[in-house]
RNA sequence: GGCCUGAUGGCGGAGUGGUGACGCAGCGGACUGCAAAUCCGUGAACCCGAGUUCGAUUCUCGGUCAGGCCUCCA
């Protein structure tokens, strides 16, 4: 039952052992809230939610502390607020709310903390102050910069050779930098933009410092797990690590910032990286209007989290079909084998797969096996075995954030009460026709139901129905 | 240019030094008034070359191709 996680820093899978099993800490880089987030933004949300669930199962519900930040100070936010002529909080509140709603729809539990930059300003400024005081950072022309030369281990996480970073610098080096690799901790705001008072003049924090400050304040160093998208390895996490460690220990001196670094791969849209500049984005907000959140979650987890995932309509539809199969077995078991209940249990095969660096495809395969076992019990009309198998399927699927709905609700999603009663009436009429072997009439009613986007299925214990296409 | 991943059947996608998961789709059959579901059966893959080995899809090297990072980005 031991958990192993792939650590970006070590570049290998390592057995996971928290510093303190009574307080397991995890931090994941969250969204910049200036617009609806696209589906790619939700891959880490879902992946690390799964890890959160696994850790809670392993160490106890209250033993895992999970912080995911919210960036609510940013150029894109400023731009949006200016366009709308509203304070930035109007923009950030709006999109944070939408983001959380989307995350919830995708089955993600709320993180323990969701710190915002605007609410962490004091800690950020204090941390920068310490970095300046202990010689890890310097002020110049209204900016404060981190001195990468002060941190010998700089570049270790991303594996970037120091020389390359200097030689490969593609952007013009700002004149106030002592070293091209140095990065901003604090900078002046442009006229008209929000600014905060600091010992180095009014301005705003640089991109990376918020995470270091939040981690120190909310979790404490070293944290057990730090997660995010693969693209954040450099420069974001490299810089975060450097400043986070040096704030307490100038020069680093072998101090650990995060004990396990985890990074999820990208979603590819139509053979290309999904990117806002290419315009091939799919907003989770929009997808959720067409597909059930669980289906999107299944699709996001259908490949291993470190691999790139091809995001296509087919993938989502297959995810839906896969869940249909599981829900159908569940539904049949409830109807044919009674509602006798057993203690929910997590199947060992599912646990084993998830503990192996979150091998979700293998875990899903195990779910299908559990479904088959339940199906076999239903066929044999073995109620006790069915109850047992159902408890294992449900317990395992729930751990992964699946089968959270009642089967009826899953299959009849999108049907309002009006449609439901109409369908019930038609089915009753059809039952009468079938009893009289009036097949033409029965088929006519089937067609009528089909026109309502409803499919009827005749079973041994009566007819059931479902919404065919959910849109 | 530097660094780093990956290349598995029609599709998605695990995994393994030795009889090649799982799901979807296909085909044949059972069941069904019809249909759906379900069940049984079935065809189908490990990029190329060299090396290591009794044996490689799995290890090593080279190549090709694809993707990522080096700049805001999950």
User: Tens of pLDDT along A234-273?
Assistant: 889 999 999 999 998 988 887 899 999 999 998 887 534 4
CA-to-C1' distance for A312 and B19, Å? Answer: 36
- Tell me if A250 sits within 8 A of A151, measured CB to CB: no
Residue A269 lies in a domain: no
Domain membership of residue A440 as a residue range: 412-467
Q: Which residue has the tokens 């420069």?
A: A235
Residue A209 lies in a domain: yes
What's the pLDDT at A179?
Answer: 85
ipTM: 0.93
Same domain for A403 and A416, yes or no, is no
What's the pLDDT at A460?
Answer: 75
How does pLDDT run across A266-306, given as a tens digit for each residue? 888 753 444 444 444 688 999 999 899 999 999 999 999 99
- pLDDT bucket at A459, cuts 50 / 70 / 90: confident
What's the pLDDT at A143?
Answer: 92
Residue A283 lies in a domain: no
DSSP string, A169-235: --SPPPTT-SSTT-EEEEEPPPTTS--B--TT-SBEE-TTHHHHHHIIIII-SSEEEEEEEGGGIII
What's the pLDDT at A162?
Answer: 62
- Tell me if A172 sits within 8 A of A87, measured CB to CB: no
CA-to-C1' distance for A322 and B29, Å? Answer: 24
Rounded Cα gap, residues A461 and A450, in angstroms: 21
- pLDDT bucket at A165, cuts 50 / 70 / 90: low
Considering A385, A410, A435, which residue would you say is the last residue of a domain?
A: A410
Same domain for A33 and A163, yes or no, is yes
What's the pLDDT at A169?
Answer: 47
Same domain for A418 and A403, yes or no, is no
Two structure tokens written together for A406: 């009642």
Same domain for A228 and A96, yes or no, is yes
Higher per-residue pLDDT: A207 or A18? A18
Higher per-residue pLDDT: A221 or A161? A221
Same domain for A365 and A422, yes or no, is no
Same domain for A71 and A122, yes or no, is yes
Closest nucleotide to the alpha carbon of A456, via C1':
B36
Closest nucleotide to the alpha carbon of A183, via C1':
B71
pTM (predicted TM-score): 0.94
pLDDT at A158 over 90: no
Among the listed residues A81, A69, A82, A84, the one whose alpha carbon sits nearest the alpha carbon of residue A118: A69
| Cα angle A103-A106-A111, degrees, rounded to a multiple of 5 | 40
**Mean of the pLDDT values across residues A437-451?**
92
DSSP string, A240-283: HHHHHHHTTSTT-TT--SEEEEEEEPPEEETTEE--TTTT---B
Weakest mean pLDDT among A9-13, A27-31, A108-112, A119-123: A9-13
- 10 Å Cβ neighbour count for A86? 12
How does pLDDT run across A304-357, given as a tens digit for each residue? 999 988 888 889 999 999 999 999 999 999 988 777 888 899 999 999 999 999
- CATH no. for residue A340? 1.20.120.640
CA-to-C1' distance for A466 and B37, Å? Answer: 12
Same domain for A312 and A216, yes or no, is no
CA-to-C1' distance for A169 and B1, Å? Answer: 12
Same domain for A173 and A299, yes or no, is no
How does pLDDT run across A398-418, given as a tens digit for each residue? 999 999 999 999 999 888 889
- Alpha carbon separation from A282 to A142, A278, A299, A316 (Å, rounded): 39, 12, 14, 12
Rounded Cα gap, residues A226 and A269, in angstroms: 26
Count of domains in chain A? Answer: 3
């Amino acid at each position: 039952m031991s958990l192993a996680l792939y650590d970006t820093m070590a570049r290998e899978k390592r057995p996971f052992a928290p510093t303190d099993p009574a307080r397991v800490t995890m931090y994941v880089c969250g969204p910049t809230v200036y617009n609806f987030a696209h589906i790619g933004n939700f891959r880490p949300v879902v992946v690390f939610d799964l890890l959160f669930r696994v850790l809670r199962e392993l160490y106890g519900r209250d033993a895992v502390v999970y912080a995911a930040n919210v960036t609510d100070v940013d150029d894109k936010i400023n731009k949006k607020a200016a366009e709308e002529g509203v304070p930035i909080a109007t923009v950030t509140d709006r999109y944070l709310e939408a983001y959380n709603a989307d995350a919830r729809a995708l089955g993600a539990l709320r993180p323990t903390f969701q710190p915002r930059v605007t609410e962490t300003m004091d800690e950020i400024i204090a941390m920068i102050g310490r970095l300046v005081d202990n010689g890890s950072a310097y002020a110049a022309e209204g900016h404060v910069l981190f001195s990468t030369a002060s941190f010998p281990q700089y570049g270790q996480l991303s594996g970037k050779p120091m020389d390359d970073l200097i030689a490969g610098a593609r952007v013009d080096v700002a004149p106030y930098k002592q070293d091209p690799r140095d990065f901003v901790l604090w900078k002046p705001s442009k006229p008209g933009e929000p600014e905060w008072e600091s010992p180095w003049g009014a301005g705003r924090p640089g991109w990376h410092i918020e995470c270091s400050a939040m981690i120190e304040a909310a979790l404490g160093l070293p944290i057990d797990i730090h997660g995010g998208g693969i693209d954040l390895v450099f420069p974001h996490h490299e810089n975060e690590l450097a400043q986070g460690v040096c704030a307490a220990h100038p020069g680093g001196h072998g101090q650990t910032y995060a004990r396990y670094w985890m990074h999820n791969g990208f979603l590819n849209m139509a053979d290309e990286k999904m990117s806002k500049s290419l315009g091939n984005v799919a907003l989770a907000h929009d997808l959720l209007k067409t597909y059930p959140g669980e289906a999107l979650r299944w699709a996001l987890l259908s490949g291993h989290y470190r691999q790139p995932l091809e995001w296509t309509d087919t993938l989502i539809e297959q995810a839906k079909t896969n869940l249909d199969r599981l829900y159908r077995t569940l539904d049949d078991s409830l109807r044919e084998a009674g509602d006798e209940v057993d203690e929910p249990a997590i199947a060992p095969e599912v646990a084993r797969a998830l503990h192996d660096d979150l091998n979700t495809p293998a875990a899903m395969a195990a779910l299908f096996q559990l479904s088959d076992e339940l199906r076999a019990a239903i066929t044999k009309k073995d109620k006790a075995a069915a109850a047992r198998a159902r408890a294992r399927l449900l317990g395992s699927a729930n751990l992964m954030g699946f089968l959270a709905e009642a089967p009826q609700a899953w299959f009849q999603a999108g049907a309002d009460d009006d449609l439901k009663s109409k369908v019930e009436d038609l089915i009753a009429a059809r039952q009468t026709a079938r009893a009289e072997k009036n097949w033409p009439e029965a088929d006519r009613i089937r067609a009528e139901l089909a026109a309502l986007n409803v499919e009827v299925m005749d079973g041994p214990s009566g007819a059931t129905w479902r919404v065919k296409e959910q849109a």
